[in-house]
């Protein structure tokens, strides 16, 4: 099997992995293409068992050479493929790796933030399992944060940081950074819009009322978890078996006694702690604006309101949005990852969008009226990964006919543009 790339054509390939994301961006340069891999993961509960085929196709299309691997954030549904397909990735030459600053092992703020998140996710899951109060939806959130099944998130991140052929330059990026001639690609300029260093922004998950996608038809409910009851069990008992494991997140960071008490109290008292943890991790997503020969592509990862607000309210944001020709829709089309006002400001006449999505394990994703409004605004130039039929299953929710900018493959959809 050989590459199907056409000379002079930009192509963004969205793979159908299930509930997860994997995009291969191929940029034409002279008589060849340069390749960026944006995420490679699937959630264990929404896994369609396509990852080996996907990575094999990435290798074929790139000729086993990726100019950059972009890891937007450390959720299972964005990184698990690096762990499960580690042997295949070991055969791929990678020049650069881009990750958010929150994954920098030499950054003290990042280490402390990550240690708290992982420790709390592990403890919360163990606590709820012990009490037999671990609902499927809450377990799915905690699975995404840690990776109890498939490859662990720690193993997936180990591969993503350098489990490739050759030597890689690893860049940890934050809001405000700019890359010129990114990864040695002459015409590629990158503007980093997120994540912010402001931890209060990371905690702002839900948009204000005017920015929310409310109502809508089937598959449009809010992205929620079943609340679990407040427990009267003593905090001592809660952590007796694992008290010293706080901070055991692949780092040497230890939490203070005060921070440990805060985590214990939150785990016992909060009815929505798992969802809050999931949302904070989403807000650590890299938000990248890629400019290449007139094409302007926005890849926001799973960023939620705190990340969007950090740059949407700044001078020049409206003009920037008006330049965008391609949008990767955030967080699989959930209700809290695409501000309502964004659509009106995406004013480029060729604006097109892709959504990597499916309604398993969360039937509230994608948000029905968000998808409908986006489709109208983009004059139907929207493609959903779940419009691809794979053998005898699974259920296909997206449209069977694709607009002109897209082309359907065996387990992928391509967005194409001549440059």
Beta pairing partners, 340: none
The residue assigned the tokens 């890849």 is: 299
Q: Residue 9: is its pLDDT beyond 50? A: yes
Residue from 98, 97, 117 nearest 109 by CA: 117
Residue length of the chain: 419
Q: What is the rounded distance in angstroms from the CA atom of residue 387 to the CA atom of residue 285?
A: 26
Q: What residue spans of 183-243 are helical by DSSP H? A: 199-203, 235-239
Domain that holds residue 240: 108-128+219-275
Average pLDDT over residues 61-82: 96
- Per-residue confidence (pLDDT) for residue 413, from 0 to 100: 94
Indicate whether 92 and 166 sit together in one domain.
Answer: yes
Q: Which helix (H) or strand (E) holds 251?
A: none
Q: Would 338 be classed as within a structural domain?
A: yes
pLDDT score of 265: 54
User: Do the domain assignments include residue 320?
Assistant: yes
Is there a domain that residue 3 lies in? no
Q: 319: how many CB neighbours lie within 10 A of its CB?
A: 10
- Note the pLDDT of residue 112: 83
pTM of the model: 0.85
Together in a domain, 298 and 381? yes
Q: Determine, yes or no, domain membership for 302.
A: yes
Does residue 134 fall inside a structural domain?
Answer: no
pLDDT digits (tens, 9 = 90+) for 131-146: 777 888 778 888 888 8
- C-alpha 357: how far from chain center: 11
Same domain (yes/no): 46, 173: yes
User: 351 and 207 in one domain?
Assistant: yes
Are the C-beta atoms of residues 385 and 358 closer than 8 Å to each other? Answer: yes
H or E element, residue 216: none
Average pLDDT over residues 13-34: 95
Q: For residue 136, tell me if it sits in a domain.
A: no
Q: Assess whether 59 and 70 both reside in one domain.
A: yes
**Residue-wise DSSP of 361-401:** S-TT-S-HHHHHHHHHHTTT-EEEGGGS--TT-S---S-SS
Is position 341 within any domain?
yes
Residue range 370-384, pLDDT digits in tens: 888 888 888 889 999
- The pLDDT value recorded for residue 315 is 83
Q: What percent of the chain has pLDDT over 90?
A: 45
Q: How confident is the model at residue 244 (pLDDT cuts 50, 70, 90)?
A: very low
Identify the CA nearest to 140 among candidates 43, 283, 267. Answer: 43
Residue 134 and residue 141: Cα distance in Å, rounded? Answer: 11
**316 phi and psi angles, rounded to 5 deg:** 95, -10
369 and 335 inside one domain: yes
Strand order in the sheet with 32-47: 169-173, 93-100, 65-70, 32-47, 18-29, 9-15, 412-418, 406-408
> Do residue 88 and residue 192 come from a single domain?
yes
Tell whether the model's pLDDT for residue 90 goes beyond 70: yes
Write out the DSSP string of 80-91. Answer: HHHHHTHHHHTT
68-82, 157-171, 182-196, 363-377: least confident range? 363-377
Q: Say if residue 233 is in the same domain as residue 288.
A: no
Backbone φ and ψ for 412, nearest 5 degrees, come out as -155, 165
Residues 116 and 183 in one domain: no
**What per-residue confidence (pLDDT) applies to 229?**
35
User: Where do we find the tokens 């890359």?
Assistant: 179
Q: Report pLDDT for 249.
A: 38
From 126, 143, 138, 132, select the one nearest 245 (Cα to Cα). Answer: 126
Query: Is 1 inside a domain boundary?
Result: no
Among 250, 275, 300, the domain boundary falls at 275
Measure the CA–CA gap between 175 and 169, rounded to whole angstroms.
19
Indicate if 334 and 245 belong to the same structural domain. no
pLDDT at 205 over 90: no
Choose one of 275, 295, 320: the last residue of a domain.
275
- Are residues 335 and 364 both part of a single domain? yes
pLDDT for residue 128: 77
What integer pLDDT is reported at residue 393 of this predicted model?
Answer: 59
Tell me how far apart the alpha carbons of residues 41 and 175 are, in angstroms, rounded to a whole number.
Answer: 24
Domain count, the chain: 2
Same domain, 22 and 77: yes
List the alpha helices (DSSP H) in 231-351: 235-239, 257-269, 273-282, 305-312, 317-323, 340-345
CATH number reported for the structural domain that contains residue 156 in this entry: 3.60.15.10
Pick from 29, 176, 26, 40: which is nearest to 97 by CA? Answer: 40
Residue 305 near residue 203 (C-beta atoms within 8 A): no
Joined together, the tokens standing for residue 207 give 């948009």
């Amino acid at each position: 099997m050989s590459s199907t790339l056409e000379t002079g054509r930009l192509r963004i390939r969205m793979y159908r992995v299930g509930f997860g994301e994997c995009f291969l961006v191929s940029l034409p340069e002279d008589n060849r293409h340069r390749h960026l891999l944006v995420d490679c993961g699937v959630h264990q509960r929404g896994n369609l068992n396509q990852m080996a085929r996907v990575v094999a196709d990435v290798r074929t299309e790139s000729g086993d050479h990726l100019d950059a691997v972009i890891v937007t954030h450390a959720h299972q549904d964005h990184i698990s493929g690096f762990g499960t397909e580690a042997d295949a990735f070991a055969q791929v030459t990678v020049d650069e790796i881009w990750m958010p600053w929150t994954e920098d092992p030499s950054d003290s703020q990042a280490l402390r933030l990550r240690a708290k998140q992982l420790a709390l996710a592990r403890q919360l899951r163990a606590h709820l399992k012990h009490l037999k109060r671990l609902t499927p939806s809450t377990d799915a959130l905690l699975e995404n944060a840690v990776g109890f099944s498939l490859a662990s998130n720690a193993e997936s991140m180990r591969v993503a940081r350098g489990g490739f052929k050759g030597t890689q330059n690893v860049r940890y990026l934050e809001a405000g950074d700019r890359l010129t001639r990114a990864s040695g690609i002459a015409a590629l300029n990158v503007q980093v819009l997120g994540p912010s260093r402001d931890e209060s922004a990371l905690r702002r998950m839900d948009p204000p009322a005017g920015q929310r996608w409310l109502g809508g038809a089937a598959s449009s409910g809010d992205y929620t978890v079943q609340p679990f009851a407040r427990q009267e069990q003593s905090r001592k008992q809660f952590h007796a078996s694992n008290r010293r494991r706080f901070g055991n997140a692949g780092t040497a960071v230890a939490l203070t006694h005060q921070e440990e008490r805060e985590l214990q109290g939150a785990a016992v008292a909060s009815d929505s702690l798992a969802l809050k943890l999931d949302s904070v991790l989403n807000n650590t997503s890299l938000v990248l604006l890629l400019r290449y020969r007139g094409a302007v592509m926005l890849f926001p990862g799973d960023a939620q309101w705190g990340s969007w607000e950090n740059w949407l309210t700044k001078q020049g944001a409206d003009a920037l949005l008006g330049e965008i020709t391609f949008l990767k829709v955030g967080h699989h089309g959930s209700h809290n990852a695409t501000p309502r006002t964004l659509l009106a400001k995406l004013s480029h006449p060729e604006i097109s969008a892709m959504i990597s999505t499916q309604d398993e394990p969360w039937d509230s994703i994608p948000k029905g009226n968000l998808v409908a409004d986006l489709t109208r605004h983009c004059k139907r130039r929207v493609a959903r990964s779940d419009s691809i039929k794979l053998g005898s299953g699974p259920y296909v929710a997206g449209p069977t006919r694709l607009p002109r900018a897209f082309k359907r493959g065996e387990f992928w959809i391509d967005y194409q543009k001549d440059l």
